[in-house]
Every structure is written in C-alpha cells, then in structure tokens.
A and B are shown apart, each in its own frame.
Chain A
Amino acid sequence: MKFTLKGFAGNLLFAANVFILFLLLFGGEIIIPYWLQPIGRLHPMILHFPIVILMLAMILDFFRFKESYAKEPFYQSFVSWLLLTGALFSAITVIMGLFLSKEEGYTGSVLQWHKWTGVSIVFIASLIYWCRDFSWYKLGVSRVGAVVIVSCLLATGHFGATLTHGENFVLGPVTSAAEPVKVPIEKAMVFKDVVMPIFTQKCLNCHNLEKAKGSLIMTDSAGLFKGGKSGKLFVPGKPEISLLLERIHLPEDEKKHMPPKGKPQLTADEVAILKLWVKANAQLKGKVTELAPGDSLRMLATAFLAPEQSVEEKFDFAMADEETVTKLNNNYRAVYPIAKESPALAVNIYNKDLYKPEVLKELTSVKQQIISLNLNGLPVKDADLKIISQFVNLRKLNLNFTALNGEGLKELKSLKHLNGLSLSGTGVSYAAIKQIVNMPELKQLALWNTQITPAEIAQLQKLNGNLEVIKGFKDDGKSPAKLNLPRIGNEKSVFSKSINLDIKHAINGVQIRYTTDGSEPDSIKSLLYKKGIVIAQNTSIKAKAYKKGWFGSDAVSFTFYKSTFKPDSVVFLTAANEKYRASGPEALTDSQMGTYDINAGSWIGFREHHMEALMFFKTPVNISAVSLNVMRQLPVYVLPPEEVEIWGGPDKNKLVLLGKTSSRAPLPADEKTLMNVETKFNTQKISCLKIVAKNLKKLPKWHPGKGEPAWIFIDEVFLN
C-alpha cells in the first residue's frame, strides 16, 4: 500500500474512532491527568472547525452526483478531502469534549444530548467517508447522509451553547422582556424572595444541576447548605468566616473570585444582603415584614421588593364575555373591568328606590369575575346574601347602611377570597359576625354605627388575629363642639298684621331659647322656642341654640317690624344719589331689610339734598305712625335724618303737616346701628302721604368730614 498523506489521515481517523469508542465505554473509570486538562479546555475553540468544514463538505456532497460536477475530478477530490478533514476535526473535538466533561461541574441531560449528538457526528461522518465510493452509495444515500450530519451539527451546537450560555440565550432579550415579577413586601420571605433571587440571577448559570461547577449546586436550599468541593458555603451567624462571602469579597482579578471575571457581578447591595442574611443565621423561614422596621436587611430588601400592595393580584379566572358585561351595565348598575385587559370586574349599584334582588341575580352570569361589589345604602336583605355567596372570587364587599340584620351572613362563608367586608350602619349582631370572623382571607371588617360593643369588637379581634376592625369615629364627649347659629326661617321681617316666628337649626334635637327684651338668652330661664309663636308688633328676637353634649351657640338677633299698610305707589320728589337707588322708590315698602352693607342694593341714599317721597293709597287708610328704618355709621358719613316731616291729605295738593321728629345731634361715641325713626300723630284718614327726611347739612367739627353734608340711608318705611 502506497503511503499517502490521505491514507495516513484516514488511518488517523480510524484510530480516533476507536479511541472515542474506548472513552465512551470506559469513561466512568478514566481519570484525566492534570496535564491533559488544557487539551480538554480547548474544546470550545476547536469545535468551530468541524462545524464549518463538515457543513461545507456535506453541502458539496449533496450535489456530488450532479452530472456536471460528477465529471469534475477536482470537485470530487476536494469534497473527499474536505470530508476527511472535517471528520478528523470532529473526532478531535469529541475527544477534547470527553476530556472536558470529566472535569467537575458538568452533569445533566443537556450534557448527555450534547455528547451523543457529537459522537454521532464523528461516527456517521467517518462512515460516509469510508463508504462513499462504494457502488451502492448513490444520490439518495448521499443526500440522506448530508442531511443527517448537518442536523446533528446543528443539534450538537445548540446543546453545547446551552451548556455554556444557559437556556434561551439567543431569544432571551426578546422573550423574557417580562421582568421577573417583584414580590410585594408584605408577602416576601427573606430567603425565598430576597436571597434566593440573587443566587438565581448571578450564580445559577454555573452552579446548577446541569453544570455544577465546584460540585456546588445552588438551585435550592439543600444544595446551598451542602456546599461544594471546597466545603460548606457559610457558617450561619458568621459571615466573616463564610466561604461564600470570602469568594465574593476576593478581588475581581483573583481566580477564585465569584462570580468569575467577565460574568455579571454582584452589586454592593446584593453583597450586603448576603452578608446580613448569613449574619442573621442564614434563616430559611421568616418574612421580611417580621424584621424590625429599622433592620438593615429589611431596608435593603425593600428596594428589591415591590412596595406594599402594589403588585396587582393576578386573577386566574377567564375574562367575562364582553357582550354580557355590556348588557349588564345600565344606569343604575356599573359593571366594569378594574383595568384594561383585566378579567376582574368591579360592580357598583346605585339608587335605592330601584333596587330589587333581581339586580344581583342578573350578575350571576359573571359570578366568577366579580371581585368587588358595592351595595352601600341599598335596601339589601339577608336573603340576598345567598346570591352574593355565588360570587366566589369576591374580594371586597360593601354592605354599609343596608337593611341587613345579620342572619344571612353565614352564606358569605363560601367567599374564600373575601378580604374586606363593610357592615357599618346595619343591624348585624355579634352572634352573626362571630360566625364569619374566621373566614380565611378576611382582613378588614367595618363595624361602626352598629350595635356591636367595643368589648365585642375586642373579642372578634381575639378570634381572628389578622383582622382589622374599623370602629369609625366615635365622639367621646370629651371635647364638645359649639353649636352653630340658629337660623331665622322667616323670609321677610316686615309684616302687616302678624307673623309666625320661624327659627330653625340644622342639627336635629336642638333646643332654641329666645328673649324679646334684648337680653342674652340662657338655657334655663329664657323662653323655649316652639312652632306656632305669633308676633303681632315690632319685636326684637335674640336666640341661642342648645343641645346636650354641645356648647351653646352664639346669639342671633333679628327684628320684626309691623307695617300695617302698603301704599299702592311711591314716587320721589327729590332724586336719590345715583349710586344708591336700590330698586327704586318701591324699595321703601318692599319688606326687604338691609344690612350694614350699603352696596347690597336695599338702601336708598341721599346726600346732595333731602328726601321727599309721596305715597298713594287707592282706598284711604287711617294712619297714626310713620317710621323710617335708617342707618347710622359715622365713619362713612351716614347719619339718621336731622328732621322728619310727615304730611298727609286726600290728594297731593291738599297735604297738611301731620307730625315732625328731630334727631339729636351726633356724638363721636355713636356706634354703628340700624334704627327706627318714628313719627307719631293723631290718627288721620288719608289717601296721600308725603315723607320729608332732611339730612344733616354740616357735619360737626370733630368729624373728619366737618362742614360737609351727611348721608341719609333709608331702606324701609313702616306705616301703622
């Protein structure tokens, strides 16, 4: 046999095959000497050659029997060489791989798949090389062979990559866009939700069941506590001598530093968490919330966890039919998903007049989906609770101020998820509540404004330690509030014959005491206001409100004026100041009384000249007194008229002076007031009345406006 390079290579391939077979058969007993280990570790580099070469060889082999190529000697020889080289490289790669697999840290099914697909490549490629010149090796066989080899290459490559880079390396950025769901702090366990995720993210790639580097498996607590080749990972309570922390704290360039250089490193917070956890005896049980609020571990952990209550519950039931939900919605019943694309529904029902149990019954078509039901203030009866008990996923049920007496409450026991129940303002009894107090998820129970006593509430809380009972605001009577002012209900303070006194107070059960002599009312001696009190003459009322448990109110004052006659028309002979004309001359007899606000539109003011008004009566009246309601407010130059003259007669051309009143001169100490200036005279039958009110022409010397004329302001005239 002629010695050729090709023949030598062929023999080498044969030998390699035998060696591989040997390694496979006796692999379990072989120990790789340390000087051979670097050869094994070259596996990840060499493996790229057989992939490319064999791939190319197989593509060329696929078309080998094509007529034009079959006659081409170079093509034939090139393919043959290429195949041989590829097979050889694959054999070498497999041998290296088998060496590498002997090193610790490689176990698991992915490795097995990788190994056997790799080995198949060598064997099949070698077989093809040796058989491809036989006569039976024709087009079909060659193509099958090519396809098999290429498939094996792809499979091996994939499994190998999985070993090195972990699962889902390629598509990871696309498919795992969903961030790991953060656990809400109130549910988080220290180990499971804080410590373990750090291992999972930063350590598990190499220390898993498939690839247990250093014989360390960190996938679960058992593996963690077992430790690896170098010993136990940690000494609970002593981070300073724990291997785990030693490795973490080594300088990054150090060979034993973990995670190895180039891999994602632990953050300072993560290191601190691990340290604190080991220091706290590496407990596996225990919630984050059980740690003291100021605890360092708790504070660090909080950053890793979702804040309290913020993670929405994931609901495992199906979405309700959209059409059904739409149909259930009407003007008095709102049924809506709690958020876009959430299957959970919230239901609010309104209008107590239209409520019937059917309103609830119709909801059974979405009974799985309702998680919140608000029936506040509706006349819901105990029997209706049976319908509600079918809404098995209900979380929150508001029955405040409904017509319940509690008999039906036991029906609610079927609501395994119910965590908030509001029963305030209902007739529920302690016995009825007791039946449901131990419902598994119940956390909040509103019971204010019910017959349940504080002692009973304490008892309920004893029965269910997780329960928060909302007792509501209860006035303890220690800081009584002051009542607000009584209100005079009478719209007008001027009457012709008599008027029913109407005093109101916003708060029920208030006593109103009043006086008519201007003195301060008190709660004992003063007159008690009742409905039906009639006033028949000018009266000043002062009233205060009293109620047990409250401080009495301030006094409210009010004056009623009698004005027996109302003229049919009123005209001014002198013009009022253009700024203060109210609604015209009629304002003098419109029964609208003004306040101190001169701009309020009920006052008529004169300054440039005196007031002269004529009043006409279609049927003659008997008048004996005319009184003007006027204002005194010195700082704004407003004084009562200096003199009032009353003229009367059958018509305006036959008037005689009936009476005259003069006011005293103003004094600097005069307080602001609203006052009556009355002029009395002998009863006269008249059809026309003239009122002349003269303003003070010169303010006295002590007044800032000395020498200037004073204002007069009149809002009403009473005729009796």
Chain B
Amino acid sequence: MEKDFLEHGLNFNRRRFLSKLSLGLGSVALGSLLIPDLFTGGSGDEAGLPPGIPDFAPKAKRVIYLFQNGAPSQLESFDYKPKLREMMGQELPPSIRAGQRLTGMTANQTSFPLVGSYYDFKQYGNSQAWISDLFPHTAKVVDDICIIKSMYTEAINHDPALTFFQTGAQQGNRPSMGAWLSYGLGSENKNLPAYTVLLSRGKGNGQGVYSKLWTNGFLDSTHQGVQFSSGEDPVLYLKDPDGLNRFERRKMLDKLAEMNDISYKEFGDPEINAKIQQYEMAYRMQTAVPEITDLSKEPDDIIKLYGPDCLVPGTFAANCLLARKLSENGVRFVQLYHQGWDQHGELPKEMAGQAKDVDQASAALITDLKQRGLLDETLVIWGGEFGRTNYSQGKMTVDNYGRDHHPRCFSIWMAGGGVKPGIVYGESDEFGYNIVKDPVHVHDFQATVLHQLGLNHEKLIFKHLGRRYRLTDVSGKVVKDILI
C-alpha cells in the first residue's frame, strides 16, 4: 500500500507535469472566454453577484420569520378576488385547473365549486393594497410591507412543503435556512445562538412542526436552531441543577473541555469541537437568556402595541415580542411557527381566530422594529407553506366552507431589511388560481433572503458526500424588483 503511494508520486514526472500544465492553462484561457469576469479581479465572492445591485454591505443583518404553519388562505387575506364571489358555487373551469394534482382529501371530490371570501376587502395605504377585514392591524402598516401575491411551490402537503420552504428540499435532513445563515454569517452575539425557534399554536386546525425543520443537516451542529419554549424554562436544561453554583459549573466545563480536547486530538472529529462550543455557549446563555425572556420591564405602550397576550408565554404575541428582543440582541435568525392555519373546513370561523392571534402582534413587530431603528437591518417575513384552493373542500354553505391545499399561487409579505416598502408584487388570475405576472418560486424567495443578508445563494455551498449543496439547490434567482 505504502509502495503504491510512493509510486504514484514518482509517476508524476516533468513531461506529465508540463502536459497537465498546458492543458490547465488552456482551459483557464478558454474559461476566460466563457466567463468574462474571470480575470477582472474582485474577490471571488463578489464576482457572481447580480450586476446592478451594489452588493458590498448587506442590507439586512437579521431575519425574523413569522411562519404561518398550515398555510393561511391567500383568498381571505391578501389576494382579493371579487370574481370568486360573483361565481360563488359555480364549477372551477378545467382550463384554469389545467391538471393540477390534488391532495388525497379532494381527489375524490366530483365537483369543485368556486367560493369567494367570506370577509370583505378594502384598500389601504399609498400602495392601495387590498387587505381583508381579518387583518386590520396589518392594514395599518401596509406602507411598510411588500406583499408578494405570486409565490408558488412544488409540494402539496404540509410536511414536504414546510421542509421545502425551510431547507430547499422536500425531503428532510438538509440544513434549514437559519442554519445556512448561521453557517454563512456566524453569530453576532456570542451569548446567544445564531438561530432560535419559537412555537405557538392557534385554535384552528393544526399541523405538526418537528425539530427537523430547524436542523443543521450536514452542517456543523453549532448551527442548529435552538428552541425557546414557553414554560418557566425557556431553554430546557439551561439552569444549573440545585446545589451547583456557577463557579463549580465553570470548573466542570473546563475539565470537560480539556477531556474533549484530548479526544479531538486523537480522532479529529469536528463534532467534538462543536460540542465544546455548545457547552460554552450554554454557559453564557445562562445569564443572557433570563434577561431576554424577562418581558416584565417592557413599557405599557409596548404591551398595548403587541396586545395584552404578549405577556402570556407561548402565545404568538409573546413570541413576537421575544423575537424582537432576541433580534435586538443579535440573533441572526428568529423562526416563529404559529400553528393552526389548515382550514379544510370551518374556514370563516377558524381563520378569524387565527388572524386575531397573529395580526396585531405581526404589525406591532414592524412598528416596534421601526421605532428602534432596526427595521432597516431586520428582514421580517410572514407567510405559510402554500396557498389554498379557490374552490370549496367539502360542503359549502353561506358561512361555512373549506379550502384545500394549493401550491400554484399564494401570498406572503416581507418587510424591512432592504425590501421595498409599500409595494405589491406579482399577480394571480381572476380566479386566484394561477400566477399571471412575476412568479416567485420558493428558491427565488430563498435566494432573495440570502442576498439581503449579503450572501450569494450560488456561493453559499457546503460539500457533503461528494456533492455541493446549496439552500436553493440548483435554481433560484434573486427577485430584484422587490429590493431597494
């Protein structure tokens, strides 16, 4: 075996070297013809950035993602379709559906009666965007947000769609967006994880969220999302056990790190180093976390802004307030999930409850970040994993209907972080079924988010098992039209 290696080295003689070299030079020269920027200088990272947008310093430093898990209906929120009310009860024309695959829940349905929004819409702000009556607070900040009405995805069921949104692939085990950001940008505040997750649950029909959604995938495990829970211990197992003081804890950690270091030297497994770092981070979090999760010192106006629920741990409002505090303290990616948006039936009733849960606090977050001068550098995203059908699932009555999953077209909004405020981007057809203008694929969305944080989605790569992986897989383009 050793001999083989030696011989391999000797095989590399001058002739071979020169012939390889000439080939190499030739290919570089050829390459320069194909890639005009190859020799123009500039660091490699900038070379691939889209021209026209000066991408030196990033616009956004942090992200707060208000994920509406279960997929809120775009037709009762931001995509106003009066035509559906006119055609209430009539069949969805097959030419519009155009062979869209159905979920198991409506696959056996013989009729697809169109159903308009139970709730009225009005126009708001300078952009004159249409917003339904369910979101009165969001309507007040409409001039600070950018509504995208032309999102589309590839998945038609919750878990794959959610996983696709978070990790860029429908199957699990790839790193999620927050992990990629943590990997690409690192942590701003070393006392807190770069990626945190907050969960809340509305009364509507819910869908599960699992820790695989905030996984580090094949990235180093320091990039994993850390879940803050609503109980007395926001971060589980963070407190020292009774009887152990901080000094002893320190001594224990030092000894542990020493031993871990020995085994790192022996085996060289990077996960050992990750482990040491996690212990250290947890030690620092012991003092940082209580300060942040203590919401009792927030002034009264802030409480009124977010609504009284913001002091009830585990509510969406409380999580929004907490998200602001975490973000303010340098957490790169705060991921909220609000469950309960899966309205296959009882949509008018359930959606009203869900909207009430999130509307005020979402809008409050925008206002609060803005008054702290943080909105410029914080990208806030609000939206679900797909949209909902324009026809009713199951029986339809005047005040009760349901909507099935719809991947072809749905609405989200973004605010701050260098996204143009007060605009509406993209359009769906009059049935709210297909996109007619400026489609935005999930990968485009992801590319845009990364871009706003100063990362080129084509360059943020991790090589794993012989393949180079990206959040946007092999596609995605930055939606420049919505950027300042």
Report which A residues bind B (CB closer than 8 A).
174, 177, 182, 306-312, 330-332, 334, 336, 338-342, 344, 348, 350-353, 376, 396, 398, 400, 420, 422, 424-425, 444, 446, 448-449, 470-475, 481-484, 487, 506-508, 550
A-B contact sample (14 more), CB < 8 A, given A312-B57, A475-B301: A306-B54, A309-B484, A331-B191, A331-B284, A332-B191, A334-B190, A339-B56, A339-B57, A348-B189, A352-B291, A449-B299, A473-B364, A475-B305, A487-B312
A481 touches B287 (CB 8 A): no
Report which B residues bind A (CB closer than 8 A).
40-41, 43, 45-46, 53-54, 56-58, 188-191, 284, 287-288, 291, 296, 299-305, 307-309, 311-312, 328-330, 364, 367-368, 370-373, 454, 484
Chain B residue contacts of A352, Cβ below 8 A: 291
Chain A residue contacts of B328, Cβ below 8 A: 376
Q: State which of A334, A448, A481 has its C-beta within 8 Å of the C-beta of B330.
A: A334
B460 nearest CB across to chain A (Å): 14
In the bound complex, CA of A409 to CA of B175 (Å)? 47
A446 touches B284 (CB 8 A): no
In the bound complex, CA of A625 to CA of B43 (Å)? 84
Given contacts A331-B284, A351-B287, A448-B371, contact A177 B40 (CB under 8 A): yes
Q: State which of A310, A396, A422, A506 has its C-beta within 8 Å of the C-beta of B308.
A: A506
B205 nearest CB across to chain A (Å): 16
Chain B residue contacts of A482, Cβ below 8 A: 308
B372 touches A481 (CB 8 A): no
B373 touches A398 (CB 8 A): yes
B372 touches A331 (CB 8 A): no
Chain B residue contacts of A398, Cβ below 8 A: 373
Q: State which of B301, B311, B372 has its C-beta within 8 Å of the C-beta of A506.
A: B311
**Nearest neighbor of A353 in chain B, beta-carbon distance:** B287
B38 nearest CB across to chain A (Å): 12
A400 nearest CB across to chain B (Å): 6
Number of A-B contacts (CB under 8 A): 107
A338 touches B57 (CB 8 A): yes
In the bound complex, CA of A487 to CA of B309 (Å)? 12
Q: 7 smallest A-B Cβ distances: which pairs? A: A506-B311, A339-B57, A472-B371, A484-B308, A475-B304, A331-B190, A338-B57
B308 touches A483 (CB 8 A): yes
**Nearest neighbor of B42 in chain A, beta-carbon distance:** A177
In the bound complex, CA of A308 to CA of B304 (Å)? 34
**Nearest neighbor of A329 in chain B, beta-carbon distance:** B190
User: What are 16 A-B residue pairs whose CB atoms fall within 8 Å in the complex?
Assistant: A310-B53, A312-B56, A312-B57, A330-B190, A344-B57, A350-B288, A351-B287, A353-B287, A376-B372, A398-B373, A400-B372, A471-B371, A473-B301, A473-B367, A475-B305, A550-B308
In the bound complex, CA of A21 to CA of B301 (Å)? 91
Given contacts A340-B45, A342-B57, contact A446 B372 (CB under 8 A): yes
Given contacts A340-B43, A448-B371, A449-B299, contact A350 B330 (CB under 8 A): yes
In the bound complex, CA of A174 to CA of B41 (Å)? 10
A473 touches B373 (CB 8 A): no
B373 touches A470 (CB 8 A): yes
Chain B residue contacts of A475, Cβ below 8 A: 300-301, 304-305
B56 touches A342 (CB 8 A): yes
**Nearest neighbor of A308 in chain B, beta-carbon distance:** B484
B191 touches A507 (CB 8 A): no
Q: State which of A182, A336, A344, A422 has its C-beta within 8 Å of the C-beta of B372.
A: A422
Chain A residue contacts of B371, Cβ below 8 A: 424, 446, 448, 470-473
**Nearest neighbor of B41 in chain A, beta-carbon distance:** A177
Interface centre among B190, B287, B311, B371 (most CB of A within 10 A): B371
A424 touches B191 (CB 8 A): no
Chain A residue contacts of B53, Cβ below 8 A: 310
**Nearest neighbor of A338 in chain B, beta-carbon distance:** B57
Chain B residue contacts of A444, Cβ below 8 A: 373
Given contacts A507-B303, A550-B308, contact A310 B484 (CB under 8 A): yes
Given contacts A422-B372, A446-B372, contact A348 B330 (CB under 8 A): yes
B123 nearest CB across to chain A (Å): 19
**Nearest neighbor of A487 in chain B, beta-carbon distance:** B312
**Nearest neighbor of B51 in chain A, beta-carbon distance:** A179
Chain A residue contacts of B191, Cβ below 8 A: 331-332, 350-351
Chain B residue contacts of A550, Cβ below 8 A: 308
Chain A residue contacts of B56, Cβ below 8 A: 312, 339, 342
In the bound complex, CA of A174 to CA of B38 (Å)? 12
**Nearest neighbor of B190 in chain A, beta-carbon distance:** A331
B308 touches A481 (CB 8 A): yes
In the bound complex, CA of A351 to CA of B484 (Å)? 34
B188 touches A341 (CB 8 A): no
In the bound complex, CA of A483 to CA of B303 (Å)? 11
Given contacts A342-B56, A353-B287, contact A474 B301 (CB under 8 A): yes
**Nearest neighbor of A349 in chain B, beta-carbon distance:** B189
Q: State which of A351, A420, A448 has its C-beta within 8 Å of the C-beta of B288.
A: A351
A334 touches B301 (CB 8 A): no
**Nearest neighbor of A482 in chain B, beta-carbon distance:** B308
Chain A residue contacts of B299, Cβ below 8 A: 425, 449
**Nearest neighbor of A309 in chain B, beta-carbon distance:** B484
Chain A residue contacts of B284, Cβ below 8 A: 331
**Nearest neighbor of B305 in chain A, beta-carbon distance:** A473
**Nearest neighbor of B283 in chain A, beta-carbon distance:** A331
B308 touches A311 (CB 8 A): no
Chain A residue contacts of B40, Cβ below 8 A: 174, 177
**Nearest neighbor of A472 in chain B, beta-carbon distance:** B371
Chain B residue contacts of A348, Cβ below 8 A: 188-189, 330
**Nearest neighbor of B40 in chain A, beta-carbon distance:** A177
Chain A residue contacts of B58, Cβ below 8 A: 339
Interface centre among B41, B284, B305, B372 (most CB of A within 10 A): B372
B308 touches A424 (CB 8 A): no
Given contacts A334-B330, A350-B191, A446-B372, contact A472 B43 (CB under 8 A): no
B347 nearest CB across to chain A (Å): 23
Chain B residue contacts of A182, Cβ below 8 A: 54
Chain A residue contacts of B291, Cβ below 8 A: 351-352
Q: State which of A312, A341, A446 has its C-beta within 8 Å of the C-beta of B43.
A: A341
In the bound complex, CA of A508 to CA of B329 (Å)? 25
**Nearest neighbor of A422 in chain B, beta-carbon distance:** B373
**Nearest neighbor of A344 in chain B, beta-carbon distance:** B57
**Nearest neighbor of B317 in chain A, beta-carbon distance:** A484
In the bound complex, CA of A344 to CA of B58 (Å)? 13
A180 nearest CB across to chain B (Å): 12
A440 nearest CB across to chain B (Å): 20
**Nearest neighbor of B189 in chain A, beta-carbon distance:** A350
**Nearest neighbor of B360 in chain A, beta-carbon distance:** A481
In the bound complex, CA of A382 to CA of B324 (Å)? 27
In the bound complex, CA of A481 to CA of B367 (Å)? 17
Chain A residue contacts of B305, Cβ below 8 A: 473, 475
Chain A residue contacts of B329, Cβ below 8 A: 350
In the bound complex, CA of A483 to CA of B40 (Å)? 63
Given contacts A342-B56, A422-B373, contact A481 B484 (CB under 8 A): no
In the bound complex, CA of A334 to CA of B185 (Å)? 13
In the bound complex, CA of A182 to CA of B54 (Å)? 9
B382 nearest CB across to chain A (Å): 19
In the bound complex, CA of A447 to CA of B239 (Å)? 37
**Nearest neighbor of B57 in chain A, beta-carbon distance:** A339
A185 nearest CB across to chain B (Å): 11
B484 nearest CB across to chain A (Å): 6
Chain B residue contacts of A336, Cβ below 8 A: 188
Interface centre among A331, A342, A344, A422 (most CB of B within 10 A): A331
**Nearest neighbor of B186 in chain A, beta-carbon distance:** A336
Given contacts A331-B191, A473-B367, contact A311 B54 (CB under 8 A): yes
Chain B residue contacts of A334, Cβ below 8 A: 188-190, 330
**Nearest neighbor of A484 in chain B, beta-carbon distance:** B308
**Nearest neighbor of A174 in chain B, beta-carbon distance:** B40
**Nearest neighbor of A313 in chain B, beta-carbon distance:** B57
In the bound complex, CA of A306 to CA of B300 (Å)? 41
In the bound complex, CA of A339 to CA of B370 (Å)? 23
Chain B residue contacts of A376, Cβ below 8 A: 328, 372
**Nearest neighbor of A177 in chain B, beta-carbon distance:** B40
Chain B residue contacts of A351, Cβ below 8 A: 191, 287-288, 291
